[in-house]
Structure 1
């Protein structure tokens, strides 16, 4: 923590010393001496240092924009690390109250809220430091100001933006006893995170800065314009404007050639039917019936949010539920699937997977289950449990057909297995160390989320590298969650031959969360070694499991014998590799009770990789400490006989 704190302090000191930043941060009449040596940068949450003193001295900065509450600057290190520094306008509260408010804002930990990393406060200067989102804001995206063409922002992408931002605002509204207000919800304050969900930034500034909201600003509720009485209801209004911006074929701001901005509230205020909705919807999204129907639903949600009467606006938690209901509905039906061209992808433990290309250009995966042993009612109830299990690292079941026992998933081109063990060629990609760690963290988070479902009793039952997919951001996505309980377990002992099956499952046929951990340990070994779960000896006369192969080498030979040759060309700390290997060995312990739980594994992987803890794992720090204590006890237990012999 002290090293992290020190690096942040050096960063601010370095960038504020630069002549170009003095020109940006200060008027000619102001003196740089206001940043006294006594003033300290306060660290709110952990930040993994990815730069050194030399990088800090070479940092450059550029003005990103001037907003309602201040100006934002992009600060770039020589090695590519970027952060955002926000310089606030005149703060109208005491320095003590400012620090108190910063602590409230800093405690909001959610994947859809941009985290406040640190703040700087002195008598005359207040700065806030945030992560930099390379994907840009929703405002820029919808106006073609990013690398992505607005016409290519499909309906699913817009839904994810809306759902993510709604989740973030709902989380904000829960904080500080349910009294926290954002106060400045607009598309320029919503960014895209690495999973392409909306992420809310600039939290809580409305309570600190004297600002009169101008009448032409469409994102502010009627009761707020001309005053500064922001509320959670006015946040809902602002979010309603964002929803309406995601729908129309026209922009809501001045563009070259436009005579005036479009007032989205007036544009859609009277539109409450599918027929009239077609007049305002983006034409690029209207070529598919199901999409048009979902757009009408979002339109109606937006209209509710921008109601003039505060009491008629929904709560943000209600908005989240309504949007998630839209996302849960597939943009296709059985007839679309029957018309689709399909090919067999694989035949696995629980059924056959088909890749289907729909007429609208979307590619999906159909999983036809075999040996289903549960009743029709139990099948439906289990699907409802799986359907509620929404997480960025768990592949969603987009639809299911009860009679045919067919499940529908999104299509992912690559799995861990194909990336590590695929045939060399144009489509085959080797994974670097950073990518392998990111995949491992994502997959672990997804499996931990699965284990939290159904009162903490849900089991995946079939973890293997072929069932963990990799998206464009190198995030691990766990697929085929919890299908084992639907199908016959009579063939489970045969699965031992695949190398992923825990010893107790072979004997008892009983799956558990501990057996999931064992299988995940095999996946970790694959990621480190680059080898398959099963291999052959040099003479190819005997099949050997990856676990037995790794354990055939002593601890001090892991780096030279076990680690993938592809990884040795990278400059990687050997300690991190050994830590990952040790974690994998702990996961494949013969005794189930000796294996760590998934939340503990997530925490350990985050520490090894330096990846920022998720909001879920940040609440489970104690579990990691408990696991470390138990590991030390186990090591002492093993060492004591040797020391006394």
Structure 2
């Protein structure tokens, strides 16, 4: 963290005093987060200004009753003793400072489970949301530790915490402001004001975005982090109009009894101390039911009676009246009814009464993405853009009518095997979390499409829209190198002899070396790993997923299961390079040599990297122990295998400058196989 700003307490005290005035002049405090009231952080209220220049002055209290004066003076005296400053998180360069915030105008957004929210609009046009937490009985150390966890989560579908402040009485948190308001306001706001006509595509984008955000949260802190307060009022729309999750991690820090959020809580949750990832899934299931029905979690059916939304859906589910639960606006489009039914099934699986019967969020993401793919097939408009003057014997309509089979889900999206009606087979890669303009996307596709090399997977075509980005490749029937080496015996895993491994290594090396010669010798692959290497019809390695790391961003690579392939400097600097490609390829060579995955799991579930294991074994002169047992059948090849191992270890040197260029790696591998580049 950096950029500590002193005197934040002046803003804190302004917020305190404003809220006291608000409560004093209103019989009831607003309870709906969608209720707003104009305020200003430098205004005059009832002719009594907030005097920021003299926080100890008496004029600021003249309009408050004696108990409020005493309470405010007590808090202000404490703030004078403890000036911690405003703390901004790394990777966030603020274009405003404390004085900008003090001069800003604002709006009271309402009270939530954990505190009050304010919108702060500054003179430079920047708008942020300030959340002032309720009384929190927590030490400064624990609070800062929790802020570190929350603030360092970077994901397009998780609202970013920008800054925070700690004092005994007030703990404000600063977030980005989302001008579209919450999903709750969109669904349940008053007609003609906040309530918007939400079509099926928009509801799908809200669902898939929020699911991705929660799934990312659940991967943090060793896979143990819990949100704890998932509800439609905590879901917003990001710049790409996908769902974005807010209020992360506050439930575990601020335990409180279940009150008006009871409709979202799983049956096993008695208070927020008992929330879990399984209860997050339940709450997300309620969100899906809200999106489908446009009814609140506790649905008012008249009088003082309210029916739980899950019970309401269950009462018609299975009675051939499923359509009766859907929002009437959605029923206008009969083309999406099948998708809505599948979404309803997904939601009901999430709200299973027994936690163990609920899917995890990663599984939920897959279910919703598959539903979204159905929508893509129904709603895409022509046209496919074919690369390099190709004249294929299919078009978009043929592709949408094709039978699909999920091949796998990677860090950049889901790949489908599409069998066309004419009998040909292609691979359709559906990208996710790509936030680029159409021009940027087109330019990158043109770069990838020009990589005409037998050792680089050919990009045939692409499609771009605001909602969907598709890439079409040739299909490689043998599967990936990862499945060959590490798949289940009798299914994907096959026995690879020494010559085949050499051909795979040589072909993949030539592919990456060719990539490195493009764009003025500056192009980077960025995600070299065994699951992105396939076999050509001649049995040589062929590299796929070129350039997507540059397009999508490094964060996805860093957060993925590909960490065993990442060079040390990438983890530190978050920058990919051709040298880091060489490191990743060195890991692939070690996989080919040892038959082991890039990350090993040993006793006590302690994971160690393949590079570390091989290095330690070789250092102890137990070289034979690193051989894949299948390679021991070729005793006459031992010298060649040792050279192969030396090349791999040369590639994974810790210092980037000590690694060879990919062109040098190609020559070394060809020397082993007895071939040359001309041959």
TM range (shorter): 0.5 to 0.7
**More displaced, 87-96 or 243-252?**
243-252
Is 1:23 aligned with 2:18? Answer: yes
Q: 1:320–1:480: structure 2 CA closer, same or farther, 3 Å change rule?
A: closer
Q: 1:597–1:284: structure 2 CA closer, same or farther, 3 Å change rule?
A: same
- Distance between the aligned counterparts of 1:410 and 1:516, measured in 2? 20
- Distance between the aligned counterparts of 1:277 and 1:254, measured in 2? 17
| Residue 318 (structure 1) aligns with | 363
Paired residue secondary structure (2:87): strand
Q: 1:56–1:43: structure 2 CA closer, same or farther, 3 Å change rule?
A: closer
| Residue 520 (structure 2) aligns with | 588
CA contact (8 A) 1:233 1:313 kept: yes
Cα drift, residue 203 of structure 1: 0.9
> Per-residue CA shift, 1:480-508, capped at 9, x if unaligned?
3435989xxxxxxxxxxxxxxxxxxxxx9
| Residue 401 (structure 1) aligns with | 420
Is 1:83 aligned with 2:128? Answer: yes
CA contact (8 A) 1:72 1:84 kept: yes
Is 1:350 aligned with 2:282? Answer: no
CA contact (8 A) 1:460 1:481 kept: no
> Per-residue CA shift, 1:445-495, capped at 9, x if unaligned?
9999xx9xxxxx9956459xx9684749xxxx8653435989xxxxxxxxx
Is 1:94 aligned with 2:139? Answer: yes
CA contact (8 A) 1:183 1:204 kept: yes
Which residue of the other structure, out of 54, 74, 98, is the alignment partner of 2:119?
74
CA contact (8 A) 2:398 2:421 kept: no
CA contact (8 A) 1:395 1:479 kept: no
Paired residue secondary structure (1:118): strand
| Residue 327 (structure 2) aligns with | 282
CA contact (8 A) 1:168 1:199 kept: yes
Q: 1:627–1:232: structure 2 CA closer, same or farther, 3 Å change rule?
A: closer
| Residue 291 (structure 2) aligns with | 246
Q: 1:171–1:518: structure 2 CA closer, same or farther, 3 Å change rule?
A: same
Which residue of the other structure, out of 226, 230, 236, is the alignment partner of 1:185?
230
- Distance between the aligned counterparts of 1:342 and 1:233, measured in 2? 41
TM-score, structure 2 as length reference: 0.56
CA contact (8 A) 1:290 1:332 kept: no
| Residue 169 (structure 1) aligns with | 214
- Distance between the aligned counterparts of 2:286 and 2:388, measured in 1? 46
Larger radius of gyration: 2
Is 1:155 aligned with 2:210? Answer: no
- Distance between the aligned counterparts of 2:6 and 2:463, measured in 1? 40
CA contact (8 A) 1:14 1:59 kept: no
Which residue of the other structure, out of 227, 236, 240, is the alignment partner of 1:195?
240
Which residue of the other structure, out of 294, 301, 309, is the alignment partner of 2:346?
301
- Distance between the aligned counterparts of 2:421 and 2:212, measured in 1? 30
> Per-residue CA shift, 1:532-552, capped at 9, x if unaligned?
xxxxxxxxxxxxxxxxxxxxx
Q: 1:309–1:447: structure 2 CA closer, same or farther, 3 Å change rule?
A: farther
- Distance between the aligned counterparts of 1:149 and 1:461, measured in 2? 48
CA contact (8 A) 1:268 1:280 kept: yes
> Per-residue CA shift, 1:328-356, capped at 9, x if unaligned?
334767xx99xxx989988963346999x
Q: 1:482–1:250: structure 2 CA closer, same or farther, 3 Å change rule?
A: same
Which residue of the other structure, out of 275, 278, 282, is the alignment partner of 1:237?
282
Which residue of the other structure, out of 186, 207, 223, is the alignment partner of 1:141?
186
CA contact (8 A) 2:257 2:272 kept: yes
| Residue 42 (structure 1) aligns with | 87
> Per-residue CA shift, 1:592-620, capped at 9, x if unaligned?
xx5444579999989xxxx9974446884
Over the residues paired in the alignment, what is the CA RMSD in angstroms? 5.3
CA contact (8 A) 1:215 1:226 kept: no
CA contact (8 A) 1:64 1:73 kept: yes
**More displaced, 616-625 or 244-253?**
616-625
Cα drift, residue 45 of structure 1: 3.2
Cα drift, residue 35 of structure 1: 3.6
CA contact (8 A) 2:298 2:309 kept: no
- Distance between the aligned counterparts of 2:255 and 2:442, measured in 1? 42
Q: 1:405–1:223: structure 2 CA closer, same or farther, 3 Å change rule?
A: same
Cα drift, residue 194 of structure 1: 1.8
Q: Which structure 2 residue ranges, 5 or more long, are not aligned?
A: 22-67, 478-506, 529-545, 564-569, 581-655, 658-679
Which residue of the other structure, out of 109, 122, 142, is the alignment partner of 2:167?
122
Paired residue secondary structure (1:195): coil
Paired residue secondary structure (2:169): coil
Q: 1:300–1:367: structure 2 CA closer, same or farther, 3 Å change rule?
A: closer
| Residue 480 (structure 1) aligns with | 471
| Residue 544 (structure 1) aligns with | none
CA contact (8 A) 1:347 1:353 kept: no
| Residue 151 (structure 2) aligns with | 106
- Distance between the aligned counterparts of 2:236 and 2:176, measured in 1? 11
CA contact (8 A) 1:66 1:72 kept: yes
Which residue of the other structure, out of 245, 265, 272, is the alignment partner of 1:220?
265
- Distance between the aligned counterparts of 2:158 and 2:455, measured in 1? 28
Cα drift, residue 187 of structure 1: 0.7
- Distance between the aligned counterparts of 1:281 and 1:460, measured in 2? 44
Q: 1:260–1:193: structure 2 CA closer, same or farther, 3 Å change rule?
A: farther
> Per-residue CA shift, 1:133-167, capped at 9, x if unaligned?
23322112223579998664222322222222122
- Distance between the aligned counterparts of 2:416 and 2:192, measured in 1? 30
Paired residue secondary structure (1:245): helix
CA contact (8 A) 1:173 1:179 kept: yes
- Distance between the aligned counterparts of 2:411 and 2:397, measured in 1? 19
Cα drift, residue 212 of structure 1: 0.7
CA contact (8 A) 1:161 1:192 kept: yes
Q: Which structure 1 residue ranges, 5 or more long, are not aligned?
A: 356-364, 370-378, 412-433, 452-456, 487-507, 520-586, 634-645
Cα drift, residue 207 of structure 1: 1.4
CA contact (8 A) 1:69 1:88 kept: yes
| Residue 256 (structure 2) aligns with | 211
- Distance between the aligned counterparts of 2:441 and 2:241, measured in 1? 18
Cα drift, residue 124 of structure 1: 2.2
Aligned residue pair count: 471
